[in-house]
Amino acid sequence: MKITYVDLDGVVADFEKGRREHPLSDVTPYKGRPDKLPGVYENLTPIKGAVDAVNFLLNDPNFDVYFLSTAPWDNPEAWTHKRLWIAKYFDEKRIRKRLILSHHKHLLIGDYLIDDRRFNGASEFQGIWLKFGSDEYPNWDVTLKYLLKA
């Protein structure tokens, strides 16, 4: 059973689109700090293919899947919104108690981390970091294929 961590923003949830479409995104103090935008995490659109791919992994007995995301310290409502967001798109029975919010992703023990950025410990993860959106793992199609073959 491969312990697999899946980041949210930029991997499963389209934060960039949410930021762009937020009415306050160009206003001080949110310009340059989109993670502080009120409610920005609440209604994000899923990334193409993400819901199907993660559901596939959640239902595959060879994978033990957890969401591993960082919620902004200074935007406490984001912590709640992330919890509610995954319940909107994934089967409650499969994802229940499988959300880990941490600024120290390198402390988690596991086989894979699917993450689009190196921050909050992602690049120091002791398992294999699949850098989502990179040339190697540009999308869910390629990433899922790799995981199922590995």
Which residues form the interface with Mg ion (CB under 5 A)? 7, 9-10, 116
The answer to whether residue 60 is catalytic is no
Closer residue to Mg ion in complex, CB, 13/95: 13
- As measured in angstroms, the least distance from the Cβ of 146 to Mg ion is 18
Instruction: Report the residue number whose CB is nearest to Mg ion.
Output: 10
- As measured in angstroms, the least distance from the Cβ of 84 to Mg ion is 18
Closer residue to Mg ion in complex, CB, 55/120: 120
- Which value, in Å, is the radius of gyration of the alpha carbons in the chain? 15
- As measured in angstroms, the least distance from the Cβ of 135 to Mg ion is 17
The answer to whether residue 35 is catalytic is no
99, β-bridge pairs:
67
* Burial letters 20-57, b for 16+ CB under 10 A, else e: eebeebeeeebeeebbebeebbeebebbeebeebbbeb
Rounded Cα gap, residues 126 and 55, in angstroms: 25
**Token pair in block for residue 85:** 């967001």
Closer residue to Mg ion in complex, CB, 61/128: 128
As annotated, the active-site residues are: 7, 9
